Amino acid sequence: MLFCESFETTTTANDIYIKIKHYLDANKIPKENLLACAADGAPAMMGKNTGCLKMMKDENPNMLTVHCVIHRENLVAKKLSPVLNKILQSVIKCVNSIKRNSKSERLFKQFCINQSAEHVRLLLHTEVRWLSSGNCLKRFMELFDQITTFLVINVK
């Protein structure tokens, strides 16, 4: 990431372009030094005729523009097969049942410590970050035995 700056009013392609151009000029960074830029696919960024990246590419034709890999993964995740989606939803439901209140989470942590588990916390899945699904599933599987035992004990 080059820099982070907030917008006062609008966030049009031109507004974004002006902020980037001002930053580059203020820091004496030649536009030719920008080799590549990734964006999330929003029209203000990726628009073919008036997008920010189009304006930047007009000034620096050698700059590579790409769609962000993480956003592409998120788009793929939305098309997840029904079977895998059902499994993911079941894992999320199970994790949320343990993390739904602080007492349950503390009890699970203590249970994992007593069981000498590799980890003592479950990870939440967030819709915003697709990669969190992989981390959530991995941790779930690493603690699978502890989770099943904990849920059996606490359901009774």
Length reported for the chain: 156
pLDDT-derived band at 113, boundaries 50, 70, 90: very high
Interval 114-138 mean pLDDT:
78
Residue 111 backbone class (left: φ over 0; alpha: ψ -120 to 50; beta: rest): alpha
Q: Where are the domains of the chain?
A: 13-67, 81-154
Q: Are 138 and 96 in contact (CB under 8 A)?
A: no
**Residue-wise pLDDT tens digits, 40-80:** 778 888 888 889 999 999 999 999 988 776 666 666 666 77
Predicted confidence (pLDDT) at residue 148 exceeds the cutoff of 80: yes
pLDDT-derived band at 81, boundaries 50, 70, 90: confident
Q: Are 91 and 140 in contact (CB under 8 A)?
A: yes
Q: If you average pLDDT over every residue of the chain, what do you get? A: 85
- What is the rounded end-to-end Cα distance, in angstroms, of the chain? 51
pLDDT reported for residue 108: 93
pLDDT-derived band at 131, boundaries 50, 70, 90: low
Task: Name the residue among 20, 19, 27 with its Cα closest to residue 60.
Answer: 20
Predicted confidence (pLDDT) at residue 102 exceeds the cutoff of 60: yes
Q: Rg (Cα) of the chain, in Å, rounded?
A: 23
pLDDT reported for residue 73: 65
Regarding beta strands 36-39 and 64-67, do their DSSP bridges make them parallel or antiparallel, or are they unpaired?
parallel
**Residue-wise pLDDT tens digits, 6-43:** 888 888 999 999 999 999 999 999 989 989 988 877 88
Token pair belonging to 65: 């523009």
